[in-house]
Amino acid sequence: MTDSITEKGKVLSMLAEIHDQLEALESVLEVSFSNQRNQLNRNVQEKLSDTANKLSIMENKISQFNQHSDREEEVVFSTSAKVQNLNWAFK
């Protein structure tokens, strides 16, 4: 009977040790995952920021292109009006 009690005590002691090790592992994993999650968030934020900057640059280029195109259309339309006036003058 004392043998079974000592064996139960040993088993309980081993289980308590395993429990302590698991708690320590949980703590380490929690910190590790937290650090990993923070790093991933930083990477995503950097990528979003880079993408937003590139999009802004493209929007500015498109806006400049559109302004340039509008000016060219004005020149074409004003030239066209002059040509029409000349056509009327020669009739």
Number of domains forming the structure of the chain: 1
Count of alpha carbons within 13 angstroms of residue 16, beta-carbon side: 6
Q: How many CB atoms lie within 10 A of CB 79?
A: 10
Structural domain contains residue 74: no
pLDDT in tens, the chain (91 residues): 678 888 999 999 999 999 999 999 999 999 999 999 999 999 999 999 999 999 999 999 998 888 877 676 665 555 555 545 545 555 5
The CA-based dihedral angle spanning residues 8, 12, 17, 22, taken in that order and rounded to the nearest 10 degrees: 130
Distance CA 21, CA 29 (A): 12
Is residue 89 one of the residues assigned to a domain?
A: no
Q: Which domain holds residue 31?
A: 1-66
pTM summary value: 0.52
Q: How far is CA 49 from the centre of its chain?
A: 7
- Which helix (H) or strand (E) element contains residue 11? helix 2-90
The confidence score (pLDDT) of residue 30 equals 95
pLDDT at 34: 94
User: Does 80 fall in a domain?
Assistant: no
